[in-house]
Amino acid sequence: MGAPVDGSRAYLLDARLRPVPAGVVGELYLAGPGLARGYLHLPGATAQRFVADPYGPPGSRMYRTGDLVHRDDDGTTHFHGRDDDQVKLRGLRIEPAEVAAALDSHPQGVPAAATVHRGPEGRQRLIGYAVPPGAAPAPEALLAHAAGSCRRTWSRPTSCCWTHCR
In which band, very low, low, confident or very high, does the pLDDT at 152 lie, cut at 50, 70 and 90?
A: low
Taking CA atoms, 123 is separated from 116, 142, 153, in Å, by: 10, 22, 18
Percentage of the chain beyond pLDDT 90 is: 31
Q: Spell out the SS3 assignment of 64-97.
A: EEEEEEEECCCCCEEEEEECCCCEEECCEEECHH
Q: What is the pLDDT of residue 5?
A: 83
Q: What is the pLDDT of residue 81?
A: 82
Read off the pLDDT of residues 62-100 as tens digits, 9 standing for 90 and up. Answer: 999 989 999 998 888 998 887 777 777 777 778 787 888
Average pLDDT score over the chain: 83
**Which of 136, 135, 157 has its CA nearest to residue 146?**
157
